[in-house]
Amino acid sequence: MAHILIVEARFYDHLNDMLLAGARAAIEAAGHSHETITVPGALELPGAIVLAEDTQRFDAYVALGVVIRGETYHFEIVSNESARGIMALTMDGIPIGNGVLTTEDEAQAVRRADPAQFDKGGGAAEAAIAMLALKQRL
């Protein structure tokens, strides 16, 4: 049984609740345990994963958050840099499922976050579990 850390950038409570529900359900369905921590925003996700990895308490990670396009360039910075940071950690061999939604509007985010629709939180947890299995097999 693996112990998985869900790291959530909590900004939109109702959307994050759906992402968390999907991730937790997927982890529990696979027979694993989990903990959840919250960071201020998507840019802090990679840093929190590094801090958690240093504790050697977790086998894999699920990064969750929602970034909705606004009127400024900030959307691109947050979207690109959070994804880049998460990808850099996966290249270091850390099993991470990236469940950070980057959408044009809230309606798109709801469809993707809702476990009854696209269930991107559950998908991110399943990706983390799959990468952990691959790491263990190799």
Among 3, 14, 34, 74, the active-site one is 74
Known active-site residue 3: no
Token pair recorded at residue 5: 């850390």
- Name the residue among 91, 115, 112, 106 with its Cα closest to residue 28: 115
pTM of the model: 0.97
Residue 72 has a pLDDT of 87
Considering the domain boundaries, does residue 103 fall inside one? yes
Q: Confirm whether 14 is domain-assigned.
A: yes
In a domain, 43, yes or no: yes
11 is in an annotated binding site: yes
68 has binding-site annotation = yes
Cβ atoms of residues 104 and 49 within 8 Å = no
Reference 16, options 47, 49, 48, 38; nearest CA is 38
We report the CATH number of the domain holding residue 8 as: 3.40.50.960
Strand order in the sheet with 60-68: 33-39, 3-9, 60-68, 96-103
Number of domains the chain is built from: 1
pLDDT digit string (tens) for 27-80?
Answer: 999 999 999 999 999 999 999 999 999 999 999 999 999 999 988 889 999 999
75 is in an annotated binding site: no
Domain annotation covers residue 137: no
